[in-house]
Chain A
Amino acid sequence: MSSSSSTLTATGAAPVFYDNGDHHPEGSTLLGFWMYLMSDCLIFAVLFATFAVLGRSYAAGPSGADLFDLPLVAVNTGLLLFSSITYGFAMIAMQHGKVKHLLAWLAVTGLFGLGFLSIELFEFSHLIHEGAGPQRSAFLSSFFTLVGTHGLHVTFGILWLVTLMFQVRKLGLTFENKRRLVCLSMFWHFLDVVWIGVFTFVYLMGVL
């Protein structure tokens, strides 16, 4: 079949396609994923707003100044920032088609993510052990919900990252795998953007 118009004139009964797919570029997955990130952004906005409203309702319990360990938060922020640039290195390796470099940088990124999660879980368990669990006050409920949701996102980001490492090892740098890696890069950097809000709004302003 050479083209649709010649088939039409030849038989006269062939179906007419008004949509030949020209205006539907492959890149629409990335736009769709961006839309997902924007809706995720709204979830975080709601949690930030909740924290803004409830963040000073201590119910005679501990405040942020009593609880937060800023050096630990600084380390955590550093880990997430480092994981962002190592993911960037992974993407550059992907563009050059260097699978080994890509896998190595992805592994480093995952380790930074795991470090971040470990510190966050340590912080949470420490707080709960001190009696400052989510049930203690409205401040702590909103704190655990906001920071916990971010941590959950990081957890799923790491799962996704490990999945993609296996995919790339098994199938190589196919177009689909590259698209997935780009999506995960947006997800990962987006989580870093959310973390800027968390450390500024929750931790730094919480101890002021």
Chain B
Amino acid sequence: MSAAHDHHDAHGDIGYHATLKGYATGFVLSVILTAIPFWLVMAKVLPPDATKFIILGFAAVQVVVHMIYFLHMNAKVEGGWSMLALVFTAIVVVVMLAGSIWVMYHMNANMMPVDPHAMRNMP
């Protein structure tokens, strides 16, 4: 694409290739993906529940954009091992987040109501 892509320095290749076009694309996309959620929340365009799902969707897309354009992630980096580590981490993170929220929500919902007077005297 550009000269940056073909450039190999005398000290050897460090296996990293940034391009101006890639960074510019990533930056424009992430500005858009940041501005819309802030606008949705600050201008109160939609009901809160709908806004919640939409901004979570925008965040997920923006994470992918950053991964591709800023962190230069693809299936070929380090022979695929980076991607494998990323997928493994993503699975662990999803299990940890979803599991914590799920379990703790149900614990709160199924907890026996505590008398406020008794709670005040608890150790």
Contacts and interface: CB of A to CB of B under 8 A. Distances in A.
Task: Verify that A and B bind, or say they do not.
Answer: yes
A166 interface: no
Interface string B64-96: 001100110000001001100110110011001
Contacts of B55: 200, 204-205
B23 A53 contact: no
B119 to A, nearest CB: 12
Contact of B70 (A78, A84, A96, A200): A84
A36 to B, nearest CB: 10
Contact of B34 (A53, A77, A186): A77
A92 B18 contact: yes
13 contacts: A27-B14, A48-B97, A52-B100, A52-B104, A74-B42, A77-B38, A81-B27, A85-B26, A193-B67, A193-B71, A196-B59, A200-B55, A208-B41
Interface of A: 26-28, 30-31, 34-35, 38, 41-42, 45-46, 48-50, 52-53, 70-71, 74, 77-78, 81, 84-85, 88-89, 91-92, 95-97, 173-175, 178-179, 182, 185-186, 189-190, 192-193, 196-197, 199-201, 204-205, 207-208
A49 B100 contact: yes
A81 B31 contact: yes
A9 to B, nearest CB: 32
Given A81-B30, A95-B4, A182 B16 contact: yes
B78 A201 contact: no
Nearest to B22: A88
A97 B14 contact: no
A192 B37 CA distance: 16
B71 A70 contact: no
Nearest to B51: A208
A91 B16 contact: yes
A95 B18 contact: yes
The interface residues of chain B, by DSSP majority, are classed as helix
A84 B51 CA distance: 27
A89 B34 CA distance: 21
Contacts of B62: 196
Given A49-B100, A52-B97, A208-B51, A30 B89 contact: no
B71 A92 contact: no
Contacts of A30: 14-16, 78
A53 B88 CA distance: 23
B7 A70 contact: no
A88 B48 CA distance: 36
B89 A38 contact: yes
A190 B63 CA distance: 10
Given A34-B78, A204-B55, 11 more contacts: A30-B78, A49-B97, A50-B100, A78-B34, A85-B23, A88-B26, A92-B23, A174-B11, A178-B11, A193-B67, A200-B55
